[in-house]
Amino acid sequence: MTSTLYRGRLLSFRRAPRDAHDHDSYLFEEDGGLLVENGMIVAMGDFQAVRADAADDVEVIDHRPHLILPGLIDTHVHFPQMQVIGSYAANLLEWLDTYTFPEECRFVETAHATRIATQFFDEFFRQGTTTAVAYCSVHKASADAFFAESLKRGSLMIAGKVMMDRGAPQGLLDTAQIGYDETRQVIADWHGRGRNHVAITPRFAITSTPEQMGAAQTLAREFPDLYIQTHLSENRDEIAYTCSLYPDAADYTDIYDRYGLLGQKSLFGHAIHLSEREADALSDSGSVLVHCPTSNLFLGSGLFPMRTYQRRDKPLRIAVATDIGGGTSYSMLKTLDEAYKIQQLLGERLNPLESAYMMTRGNAEALSLEDRIGTLEPGTDADFIVVDSAATPAMKLRMETVRSIGEELFLLQALGDDRAIAETYVAGRPMKSVAGGTD
């Protein structure tokens, strides 16, 4: 049995913080010990106490003075969009047609999908993100490449072959039947292999015919435990066009509702412009809205009314994500920095504890996976990161005046990025310092 004890300043959330002073919401160990055996966390607490209970010959890796946090979780990304990040477009639909759809056509080539999958995992681990919820392309080969790489690295990933049978170039279309058959095949090939989860992934209502939405509904019925991911109410023109394609539906949300796609494992990307009726339906079903701040600002889609959604009589579940490549940063630190600024523009506050909670335990709860990832609790998977809050000269200087963990987290969010991630461990194996994640 391999047993390693990591020493550092440990931070792990127990629940959502109520405000910036809710110190009971998290555990912070100034001189902490995290004991890892066979890819699992087996003990966590004061270093000397954990050391005393561990085997005499346990290997100790000293990461002081750095922080040790749970691995970051990104709940909405597009794996085939790494090479269109920062493409100049007026809005969502222009961006999709001009850059994104042509780019995704390239993933028909297995060699290309395999190459980008390697890059994807290298980059996400470099950024401290250990779990991502990803859209592959329409091609089954892209899902195969993604899951094969995840299996190799030992990571917990959620991904799906995109279903889309209209409204895009021919090279990016399946059919209702092919989308169904290939999704079933991806499930058979990959779901539950290693730590992989498959998501049913109709891209959005614009690119799926009613027949294909029906196929997604059949899959959801046949595999009720699977995640479902799609896009909802990102942009005003998108909403108007979508509703014109489904004239019988009451609104955009109702389209998905009619096909049985709302539920506790359903993830709706963006969801910026919702009516009260839609918000009620999403809340009643326990669906999750995925806020993608850098993407919403970059594409000019709108300001996500997070507090309004949370304060409702029927509150909404909210996750946060990069939305690479509509999003402009791989870093969850930068993503929460932009989320903060969006709330500032709306006259609301997003406190540093809450931001740190959202990118770890909060996103894990949104995925109903907090018993596996998102914390440093014993019994969970050993996905964790080592964070250097003085990684750059500017951060080092600012750290001289930092007086609390809350201030430090806020500094990390404001000035930090991949440079602040000193190491990333996936199932107890170092992934940042070791190219390709092999040791």
Tell me whether residue 234 or residue 278 sits nearer to ligand GUN (CB atom). Answer: 234
* CA 195 from centre of chain: 15
**From Zn ion, ligand GUN, none, interface partner of 167 (C-beta below 5 to 8 A by class):** none
Torsion of CA 311, 315, 320, 324, to 10 degrees: -110
In whole angstroms, the minimum distance from the beta carbon of 239 to ligand GUN comes to 11
Q: What number of chain residues touch ligand GUN (CB under 6 A)?
A: 11
**From ligand GUN, Zn ion, none, interface partner of 149 (C-beta below 5 to 8 A by class):** none
Cα–Cα dist 345/143, whole Å: 38
Tell me whether residue 87 or residue 218 sits nearer to Zn ion (CB atom). Answer: 87
Member of 217, 283, 295, 328 binding ligand GUN (CB under 6 A): 295
Q: Does 202 bind Zn ion (CB under 5 A)?
A: no
Q: Does 372 bind ligand GUN (CB under 6 A)?
A: no
Burial 171-205 (b: 16+ CB within 10 A, else e): ebbbebebbbebbbebbeebeeebbbbbbbbbbbb
Member of 26, 47, 147, 204 binding ligand GUN (CB under 6 A): 204
Tell me whether residue 174 or residue 423 sits nearer to ligand GUN (CB atom). Answer: 174
Token readout for 293 is 């701040």
**Range in contact with ligand GUN (rule: CB under 6 A) among 62-70, 92-100, 115-123, 256-264:** 92-100
**From Zn ion, ligand GUN, none, interface partner of 204 (C-beta below 5 to 8 A by class):** ligand GUN
Token readout for 246 is 């489904």
In whole angstroms, the minimum distance from the beta carbon of 168 to ligand GUN comes to 9
In whole angstroms, the minimum distance from the beta carbon of 318 to ligand GUN comes to 17
Member of 12, 100, 242, 253 binding ligand GUN (CB under 6 A): 100
Q: Does 293 bind ligand GUN (CB under 6 A)?
A: no
Tell me whether residue 66 or residue 76 sits nearer to Zn ion (CB atom). Answer: 76
Token readout for 75 is 């709940």
Tell me whether residue 96 or residue 274 sits nearer to ligand GUN (CB atom). Answer: 96
In whole angstroms, the minimum distance from the beta carbon of 293 to Zn ion comes to 13
Count of CB atoms situated within 10 Å of the CB of 92: 22
Classify burial at 19, counting beta carbons within 10 Å of its beta carbon; exposed 0-12, middle 13-18, buried 19 or more: exposed
Q: Does 423 bind ligand GUN (CB under 6 A)?
A: no
Strand partners, 384: 70, 425
Token readout for 266 is 């359903």
Handedness of CA 324, 201, 355, 9 (dihedral sign): negative
Q: Which residues, 233 to 252, sit near ligand GUN by CB under 6 A?
A: 234
DSSP structural state of residue 361? I
Residue with CB nearest ligand GUN? 326
Tell me whether residue 13 or residue 252 sits nearer to ligand GUN (CB atom). Answer: 252
Q: 319-358 mask for ligand GUN (x: CB under 6 A)? A: ----x--x--------------------------------
Cα–Cα dist 143/116, whole Å: 12
Q: Does 327 bind Zn ion (CB under 5 A)?
A: no
Residue whose token pair is 């490549």 = 325
Token readout for 192 is 């539950």
| Cβ contact 235:92 at 8 Å | yes
In whole angstroms, the minimum distance from the beta carbon of 114 to ligand GUN comes to 21
Token readout for 289 is 């809205």
Q: Give kind and range of the element (H or E) at residue 257.
A: helix 252-258
In whole angstroms, the minimum distance from the beta carbon of 78 to ligand GUN comes to 5
In whole angstroms, the minimum distance from the beta carbon of 383 to ligand GUN comes to 26
Q: Does 269 bind Zn ion (CB under 5 A)?
A: yes
Q: What number of chain residues touch Zn ion (CB under 5 A)?
A: 2
Residue 178's contacts (CB-CB under 8 Å, 6 or more residues apart) are 165
Q: Give kind and range of the element (H or E) at residue 292.
A: none
Tell me whether residue 95 or residue 124 sits nearer to ligand GUN (CB atom). Answer: 95
Token readout for 302 is 């709108």
Closest by alpha carbon to 383, among 134, 153, 60?
153
Helix (H, G, I), strand (E, B) or coil at 229: strand
* Size of the chain, expressed as the number of residues it contains: 439
Q: Which residues, 126 to 185, sit near ligand GUN by CB under 6 A?
A: none
DSSP structural state of residue 421? E
Q: Does 7 bind ligand GUN (CB under 6 A)?
A: no
Member of 66, 153, 231, 273 binding ligand GUN (CB under 6 A): 231
Q: Which residues bind Zn ion (CB under 5 A)?
A: 269, 323
Q: Which residues bind ligand GUN (CB under 6 A)?
A: 78, 92, 96, 100, 203-204, 231, 234, 295, 323, 326
